[in-house]
């Protein structure tokens, strides 16, 4: 018996696969490699190259490998880009989820852990986001994640599917040197790219009503995130009652300025960030409570901000050394 990890060749998915296998739970990965990397999948892990839009392939995979549950991470994850590609975003994030759910029902797979997003909240007007904070997604990406949650909840009512959805905030760091964040839009890769290219990293706005004037965000280590997925799966296998959604947040938050200072200390590359104008729509602060996940999923922050930066930098440098330009 095994768990299927969709999008398991991605940065987060590859960490989830490793977390499952560290607990002795076999995994199967399905990924179309549109943003994932085949090399991120551990040696010996069953890998299926294909799209969730191929319902027959998904159903065959579930049956062939005796899958008992699914962690669904696959999708189009670029919120900003989704504004210009709404049809693609909905196809990859909504149609694909519906296809997966149909295949699971046909194959008799009864458990699902869904990768949702803080993007479902849009720009909250509260200091601490809880699962009950009103949802106002501001991009097709955020909308598609909320629709995904609705689809899964409706299927749970209709078929008895045991499920939960995990809303991520800013996922950073690395738990292994052979997997790192390759997103062209995330803060850590953007800053690392600038430093390695000899450019000065930039902060968008330093006049917010925060302690140092820069935006405060909620950063969580990818290994902590991956561990929560394993606990969720184990609880579903034990037929424990889980909430439909959980925020995976720190409850505190860190400013972009503090991140920059930590990166300078960790890398040994001294720099003073350039200050650019604010970006339209950027709130001063987005921080989430992880209390519900702490109660049910053993969720806690096991890594400091320095740990997050150090592990991310180490993995990035290892990747550059393995594949020099």
> What is residue 101's three-state secondary structure?
helix
C-alpha to C-alpha distance for 217 and 213, rounded to whole angstroms? 13
C-alpha to C-alpha distance for 8 and 220, rounded to whole angstroms? 19
Question: What structural domains and CATH numbers belong to the chain?
Answer: 2-171+219-248 (3.40.50.720), 187-217+250-286+302-322 (3.90.25.10)
C-alpha to C-alpha distance for 183 and 196, rounded to whole angstroms? 16
**Which residues face 314 on adjacent strands?**
none
Q: Is residue 78 among the annotated active site residues?
A: no
Q: Which of 6, 85, 77, 81 is nearest to 41 (CA)?
A: 6
C-alpha to C-alpha distance for 162 and 236, rounded to whole angstroms? 7
Considering 11, 65, 141, 180, which one is annotated as catalytic?
A: 141
End-to-end, the C-alpha distance of the chain in Å comes to 42
For residue 5, how many C-alpha atoms fall within 13 Å in the half-sphere facing its CB? 30
pLDDT at position 282 is 79
pLDDT at position 123 is 87
Q: Find the helix or strand (DSSP H, E) in which 81 lies.
A: helix 79-82
Residue 85 is classified by DSSP as -
> What is residue 203's three-state secondary structure?
strand
pLDDT at position 214 is 95
C-alpha to C-alpha distance for 142 and 158, rounded to whole angstroms? 25
Determine contact, residues 112/163, Cβ cutoff 8 Å: yes
CB atoms within 10 A of CB 177: 15
C-alpha to C-alpha distance for 247 and 238, rounded to whole angstroms? 22
C-alpha to C-alpha distance for 265 and 117, rounded to whole angstroms? 30
C-alpha to C-alpha distance for 295 and 112, rounded to whole angstroms? 20
pLDDT along the chain (325 residues), means of 10: 96 98 97 96 97 98 98 94 95 98 98 96 91 95 97 98 96 96 93 96 94 95 98 97 96 95 97 90 88 97 96 95 66
Q: Which of 64, 63, 76, 62 is nearest to 5 (CA)?
A: 62
Determine contact, residues 103/59, Cβ cutoff 8 Å: yes
pLDDT at position 321 is 85
**Which residues face 254 on adjacent strands?**
217
Contacts of 73 (CB under 8 A, 6+ apart): 5, 6, 7, 8, 10, 12, 13, 16, 115
């Amino acid at each position: 018996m095994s768990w299927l990890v969709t999008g398991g060749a991605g940065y987060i998915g590859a960490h989830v696969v490793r977390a499952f296998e560290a607990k002795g739970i076999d995994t199967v990965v399905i990924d179309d490699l549109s943003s994932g990397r085949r090399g991120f999948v551990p040696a010996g892990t069953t890998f299926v190259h294909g799209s969730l839009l191929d319902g027959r392939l998904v159903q065959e995979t579930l049956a062939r490998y005796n899958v008992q549950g699914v962690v669904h991470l696959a999708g189009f994850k670029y919120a900003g880009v989704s504004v210009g590609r709404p049809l693609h975003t909905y196809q990859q994030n909504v149609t694909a989820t519906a296809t997966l759910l149909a295949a699971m029902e046909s194959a008799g797979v009864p458990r699902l852990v869904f990768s949702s997003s803080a993007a479902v909240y849009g720009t909250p007007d509260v200091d601490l986001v809880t699962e009950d904070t009103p949802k106002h997604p501001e991009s097709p990406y955020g909308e598609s994640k909320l629709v995904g949650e609705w689809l899964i909840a409706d299927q749970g009512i209709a078929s008895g599917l045991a499920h939960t959805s995990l809303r991520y905030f800013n996922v950073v760091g690395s738990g292994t040197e052979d997997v790192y964040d390759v997103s062209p839009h995330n803060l850590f890769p953007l800053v690392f790219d600038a430093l390695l290219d000899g450019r000065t990293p930039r902060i968008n706005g330093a006049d917010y009503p925060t302690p140092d004037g820069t935006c405060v965000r909620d950063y969580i280590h990818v290994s902590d995130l991956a561990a929560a997925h394993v606990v969720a799966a184990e609880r579903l296998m034990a037929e424990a009652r889980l909430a439909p959604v959980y925020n995976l947040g720190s409850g505190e938050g860190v400013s972009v300025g503090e991140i920059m200072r930590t990166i300078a200390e960790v890398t040994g590359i001294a720099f003073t960030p350039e200050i650019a104008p604010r970006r339209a729509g950027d709130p001063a602060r987005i921080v989430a409570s992880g209390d519900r996940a702490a109660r049910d999923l053993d969720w806690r922050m096991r890594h400091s901000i320095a740990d997050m930066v150090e592990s991310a930098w180490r993995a990035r440098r290892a990747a550059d050394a393995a594949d020099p330009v």
